[in-house]
Homo-oligomer: A and B are copies of this chain.
Amino acid sequence: MKPLNFEILKSFFSVLFICAASGVYAQKTYPEPEEMQPGMSEFWLPQPTVVTPGDIRTNSAPSDAIVLFDGKDLSAWENAETKGAAGWIVNRDGTFTVDKKHGNIQTKQSFENFQLHIEWCVPVHITGEGQARGNGGVFLQGKYEVQILDSYVNETYSNGQAGSIYKQSRPLVNAMRKPGEWNVFDIIYTAPVFKEDGTYRIPPHVTVLHNGIVVQNNTTITGTTEYIGFPRIERHGAGPVVLQSHGDPSDPVSFRNIWIREL
Contacts and interface: CB of A to CB of B under 8 A. Distances in A.
A40 B40 CA distance: 10
A230 interface: yes
Contacts of A51: 173-175, 213
Nearest to A45: B30
A109 B174 CA distance: 25
The winner among A39, A115, A172, A197 for most chain B CB atoms within 10 A is A39
A263 B158 contact: no
A56 interface: yes
A233 to B, nearest CB: 10
B37 A34 contact: yes
Interface string A147-165: 0000000011111110000
A260 to B, nearest CB: 12
Contacts of A41: 33, 159, 167, 226, 228-230
Interface stretch (A19-27, A74-82, A97-105, A200-208): A200-208
Interface stretch (A86-94, A138-146, A184-192, A237-245): A184-192
A157 B42 contact: yes
Contact of A42 (B57, B167, B188, B190): B167
Nearest to A7: B39
Contacts of A58: 57
A96 B220 CA distance: 39
B38 A227 contact: yes
Contacts of A213: 51, 53, 62, 115, 261
A84 interface: no
B229 A46 contact: no
A225 to B, nearest CB: 10
5 nearest CB pairs, A to B = A53-B211, A30-B44, A42-B157, A34-B39, A57-B57
Given A2-B38, A40-B228, A220-B220, 12 more contacts: A2-B39, A36-B40, A44-B156, A46-B158, A49-B174, A50-B176, A51-B174, A57-B57, A62-B211, A64-B173, A117-B212, A222-B222
5 contacts: A2-B39, A10-B39, A186-B209, A214-B263, A217-B263
